[in-house]
Chain A
Amino acid sequence: MNLSRLTYCATNQKVKVAEIDGGTGAVENIKSFGIAIGDEILFKSRKNGRGKIVVEYNNKEISLGHELASKILLECSENPNTTLNHIKVGDIVEVTKMGAKGDVRFRLLDMGLVKGVEIKIIRVAPLGDPIEILINGFNLSLRIDEAKSIEVKVIEIIKNQRTGKKRWGMF
């Protein structure tokens, strides 16, 4: 069974909560929405980019922040597909399709962003854009807009290393 994050889901999909990837604060926070491990929720919609995510649970619509939603881990039968801009820092994905057009396409292809290549998300810039990725052993930065056009398959979810550590662990 593979793990996925709620933020990687496609709309109108029923998913089962498997784990909360976060500290006690996040766990409490998610509990306060009435969501518990083992529950089935329906993924309704998402705001563009890194915006809010709406799920349906017990016939109620719940709107979750992107950061919080990414901490809800799900069970799924196959590796989820999404686009690069949705991927949480630390996770590893494989490129399935390069949808970029024009100049950007040329550059991305030359830098090795082709089908089948593995990418690790290193960080998001302090202002939220661009992002930094690790590809073929080197670090590359690209804008969220460019990342939107890259379709990926999640290979490995790296759970939050912060758990149990001091806050300095985030550095």
Chain B
Amino acid sequence: MKKQISVALVGNPNSGKTSLFNKIVGANQKVGNFSGVTVEKYEGSVFHQDYELKIIDLPGTYSLTTYSPEEVVTREYILDGHPDVVVNVVDGTNLERNFYLTTQLIDAQANLLVALNMYDEVEQQGTKIDLVQAEKLLGTHLIPTSAVNGLGTEDLLNHIVELFENKISIKRNKLSFSALMEGYIEKLIKIISTDEELSAKYHPRWLAIKLLVNDKDVYKTVREYPIWIKVNHVLSEAIEFTEKKYDSDPELMLKEERHALIRGAIKETVIYPPKRKKNTSEIIDSILINRITGLPVFIFFMWAMFQLTFTLGETPMNWIEAFFGWLGKAASLIITEPTTRSIIVDGIIAGVGGVVVFLPNIMILFFALSFLEGTGYMARAAFVIDKVMHKVGLHGKSFIPMITGFGCSVPAFMATRTLRNRSDRITTLLIIPFMSCSAKFPVYILVAGTFFGSAQAGNALFGIYMLGVVVALITARLLKTVVFKGESEPFVMELPPYRMPSLKILILQMWQKASLYLRKAGTIILGASILIWIASNYPKSDEITAEYNQIRSDVLISTDYNETEKSEIIHNLEFEASSKQLEQSFVGQLGKLIEPVVAPLGFDWKLGIALVTGIAAKEIVVSTMGTLYSLGDVNEDSHDLRSRLLENPNYNQAVALALMVFVLLYIPCAAASIVFHKEAGAWKWTAFYISYTMTVAWIMAFITYNVAKIFLL
């Protein structure tokens, strides 16, 4: 058994940290979640010398703060996870901003190494960095690396082992602030050191600095200790003095000093080439996001991504459906016992098929998202559309999950992971269901096609999609003003230089998302579809079975019909029997039970049952109606079903509109709801999501029905 070293990779977003991680550990990695939050956790390991290095790739952050879940995770892991070695990955082409985090890691007394990443670009630019002097100033080793060509990775691993074995050749250093600030820091350290428990847990100097910069979390921690009164006294003194003397505050002064210290260190150690010429990113930006082309280019990219995901995804989806269809048929031939056959074919195989069928969409969408993120266009997309999203209190980045919702809510929910702010994430998750997904389309086609002429059907469809968007925007606005008051994510976002992401990483990330979906959601979705199968097949009424068997045998022995007539009658009888069975199953009972609830919307119990089964998947609404009208396999173009619906005196244009509105707005399918729960991460949000979509659907359908009754009938 080899000895283990735990290593944490930490760095700014876009510092090439993840590329370096992939270069070091290769495919030997797994993705999971940090407990309690939907922040992805990437772990991998590599053997080096006599050790196994367990490397964890922490989410990118600019500073050790706690404003987003990613930042909390990173900070907690560094402070409380006690990794043996912390490797700070620094973008060598942008030291001024990257060293800000480095200096904070020095404050936190992390066992630190700095990987000077993208060193190939640094050399290309002609920038000269005095490594020896920089190491002396920072008090830590600097290892030039490049994830592109693998430069320095071996050296980095050697240094990790060396650092772990305490063979460091550089004297540790600390950042010295101004005399005034150091005075306050000293005072605070003295007070904190009197508390053994607290100073054993966190480094006193780090606590002192964080208290002075007004860090909410550190405040909360220190407040629990008896020394708080003394600490508070020093802090008030510092605030009062800096305000009176400098018209400033300790936070501002410390941050200004930190930036100044970094600027000084860089001046001392880095020589930039005489003239930085216009770089490629500037040229690309001047084409992609200028005032005239910015919006059309953005719309084109979104359209292209949408088309790729859902058009290109359609072919493999058809294969998957065909495969599971074939598998089901094959299984029904092998298994003769009807109940076992039904549970395996209609329950398990159909259930697994229902999970796997989303895979092409998810993989293509996440490939496209990773590509946009990796090239740097994602930030630009947010930049272009932010004004619109800001109107409803959201961040520009919320746009992508929103439009993905038009295709399918499952990948759309998963795409909210690109949002860093929790309230933005929850709000976006809650409005996605109102973006009409493609599975609802067959229902609209059936209903609109049946009750409205071909000219009006288009208008009705357009109206439905618009209504979804309007409800989504109003919901966002409401949530942002009532629930998440004042919790808007500030739009302070880096527009990173354009880079070409490596295909290997894109494929890896795509596969990680896909496996995450299969593992996390797949199991539960499968369980849910089996449950729905049971509910729509049980209890089985033996009386109905016996009754139909009786009629069947009567027909068979009857001499009134010829053979072809007989087989047709028996065919119809089977559908009638399954209709009766569905009617008295749990699902059917539920449909009848809710009839009083849906009656004000103009729906009868048949529509009630169809809507209940629609929770399994929206397309099922159509096939359930087919079953209930004893028509066997139907699709949205089925003329039989259309004429049956038109014959029913209870149905009219008002009911049709109300039904479309209800289907648009009510709870998405079970698969999507489970993914929602996984992404929202709390039962209270799932409960809110269910009740909110249901309530909105009912109210809007009620209004639609009653208004339409006045105008259309």
Contact = CB atoms under 8 A, between A and B. Distances in A.
A123 B294 CA distance: 11
A114 B251 CA distance: 11
Contacts of A143: 386, 390, 490-491
Interface stretch (B26-34, B62-70, B165-173, B232-240): B62-70
Interface in B255-311: 255-256, 259-260, 281, 285-287, 289-292, 294-295
* A107, A125, A128: most-surrounded residue (chain B CB, <10 A): A125
Contacts of B295: 126-127
A117 B252 CA distance: 14
Interface stretch (B92-100, B508-516, B699-707): B92-100
B495 interface: yes
Range of interface residues on chain B? Answer: 35 or more
Contact of B387 (A130, A142, A170): A130
Contacts of A127: 295, 384-385, 387-388
A46 to B, nearest CB: 21
A171 B286 contact: yes
Interface in B51-76: 62-63, 65, 67
Nearest to A132: B495
Interface in B339-387: 379, 383-387
B63 A110 contact: yes
A129 B388 CA distance: 9
Interface residues of A, number: 34
B96 A136 contact: yes
Contact of A139 (B260, B390, B491, B495): B495
Interface in B486-503: 489-496
A82 to B, nearest CB: 19
A65 interface: no
Contacts of B96: 112, 136-138
A119 B387 CA distance: 22
Contact of A111 (B287, B390, B489, B492): B492
A152 interface: no
A147 to B, nearest CB: 10
A142 B384 contact: no
Given A111-B62, A116-B256, A127-B387, A140 B492 contact: yes
A140 B495 contact: yes
Contacts of B386: 125, 129-130, 141, 143
Given A109-B255, A111-B62, A141-B495, A125 B384 contact: yes
B107 to A, nearest CB: 14
A133 to B, nearest CB: 10
A110 B100 contact: yes
A84 B93 CA distance: 26
B259 A104 contact: no
Contacts of B292: 126
A126 B289 contact: yes
Interface in B509-548: none
A103 B215 CA distance: 11
B289 A123 contact: yes
A81 to B, nearest CB: 16
A107 B252 CA distance: 12
A98 interface: yes
A127 B493 CA distance: 17
A139 B289 contact: no
- The winner among B94, B287, B379, B495 for most chain A CB atoms within 10 A is B495
Given A103-B490, A140-B495, A132 B383 contact: yes
Interface of B: 62-63, 65, 67, 93-94, 96-97, 100, 251-252, 255-256, 259-260, 281, 285-287, 289-292, 294-295, 379, 383-388, 390, 489-496
30 contacts: A107-B67, A107-B490, A109-B252, A109-B255, A110-B100, A112-B97, A112-B100, A114-B255, A117-B259, A123-B285, A123-B291, A124-B291, A126-B291, A127-B384, A128-B387, A129-B386, A129-B387, A130-B383, A130-B386, A136-B97, A138-B97, A138-B494, A138-B496, A139-B281, A139-B496, A140-B495, A141-B383, A143-B386, A146-B491, A171-B286
Given A103-B490, A138-B97, A146-B491, 11 more contacts: A103-B489, A106-B65, A106-B67, A107-B490, A111-B494, A112-B97, A124-B291, A125-B294, A125-B387, A140-B493, A141-B383
* Across the A-B interface, the 7 shortest Cβ-Cβ residue pairs: A126-B294, A104-B490, A127-B387, A136-B96, A110-B63, A139-B495, A107-B492
Interface of A: 98, 103-104, 106-112, 114-117, 123-130, 132, 136-143, 146, 170-171
